Amino acid sequence: MVIPRTIKKAAYATLPLAWRKRLAMWLDRQQWIANRHEWSMLVIRDWAEKDVDAYHKFLWSEHLGYAKFYDSANSFGADKILPSRRLLFEDLLACLREQGLDPRRDVKSVFEVGCSQGYLLRFAETQLFPAATDLAGIDIDGTAIEAGIAYLSEQGSKIRLQRADMSDLENVLGEKSYDVILCAGVLLYLKQEAAEEVVRTMLRHTRYVVAIAGIGHPEVDNAGLTVSEPRAWDAGMVHNIDAMVEKAGGKVLQRRWEGAHEINGQRIHFVFSSGKAAVAPLSPASPTATR
């Protein structure tokens, strides 16, 4: 007899959460159990309904469940960048050019929120922004950060990675600002108010463009959502990122919503907004730049 997922979830909910967190960690390590990563998420799935941020932070910081999909020994290399992220970068470059900037010459610093091992930062360093000397990222997943630091140091990369929670972004950034801040597939792990705070912080610490990729709503343009909604299968939050930018006093420069169309299994909602940090004057060698 196959027991429906909803009944299993309700049965687990009767056990204390502290036990189930330990059970989730144990299940995730049992290589003999088929779908062990799904089981590790299922035993604590009801937690997402009570505290969605704590649920996601626990899974990512303990490198459980969906975190395993980001385990690949080699996610680095231009040929490994997923089509949805290539599209994000194409839109970002177009947006920078639209601001009168030359991405190869004028982007000197890049920060990524939720960078995993740092493969998008490495792509930015090697392929997109050769003038960038200051590249850094944070992620809550210490396993991914350690793997990324090891790989990047072998490559002689300038990228610096740090384990940190995006909810602490203001403290992490301190007085620093970056030309570009990236945040792709990450805000979905926070509920609306906490995600709004991260957006506000990113805008405050960006000189040129903040590039954000969220989950696209399949039926209505995300810009029409009045409140964030949890996605059924993983409790990822579908946000109205345009509204978050505007609420923080930012300006949406460019956006993309692709409805039900999926690119490598992802529904697309991109928002590119102007940063609010002071813009340093460009050198006279930048004749096209006007701001």
Which residue's Cβ lies closest to ligand SAM?
114
Whichever of 106 and 112 has its CB closer to ligand SAM, that residue is 112
Closest distance between ligand SAM and the C-beta of residue 279, in Å? 26
- Give the whole-angstrom CA distance, residue 107 versus residue 203: 16
**Do β-strands 178-184 and 109-113 pair in parallel, antiparallel, or remain unpaired?**
parallel
Closest distance between ligand SAM and the C-beta of residue 184, in Å? 4
Closest distance between ligand SAM and the C-beta of residue 256, in Å? 15
Q: What strands, in cross-sheet order, belong to the sheet with 266-274?
A: 160-163, 134-139, 109-113, 178-184, 206-215, 266-274, 252-263
Whichever of 95 and 237 has its CB closer to ligand SAM, that residue is 237
Whichever of 83 and 249 has its CB closer to ligand SAM, that residue is 83
Residue 214, judged by CB atoms within 10 A of its CB (0-12, 13-18, 19+), counts as: buried
Closest distance between ligand SAM and the C-beta of residue 75, in Å? 8
Closest distance between ligand SAM and the C-beta of residue 95, in Å? 17
Closest distance between ligand SAM and the C-beta of residue 117, in Å? 8
- Give the whole-angstrom CA distance, residue 197 versus residue 73: 33
Whichever of 82 and 289 has its CB closer to ligand SAM, that residue is 82
- Give the whole-angstrom CA distance, residue 44 versus residue 4: 16
Whichever of 114 and 275 has its CB closer to ligand SAM, that residue is 114
Whichever of 106 and 267 has its CB closer to ligand SAM, that residue is 267
Closest distance between ligand SAM and the C-beta of residue 157, in Å? 17
Whichever of 106 and 113 has its CB closer to ligand SAM, that residue is 113
Q: Residues in the site for ligand SAM, rule: CB under 6 A? A: 56-57, 60, 70, 85, 114-116, 120, 138-141, 144, 165-167, 184-186, 189
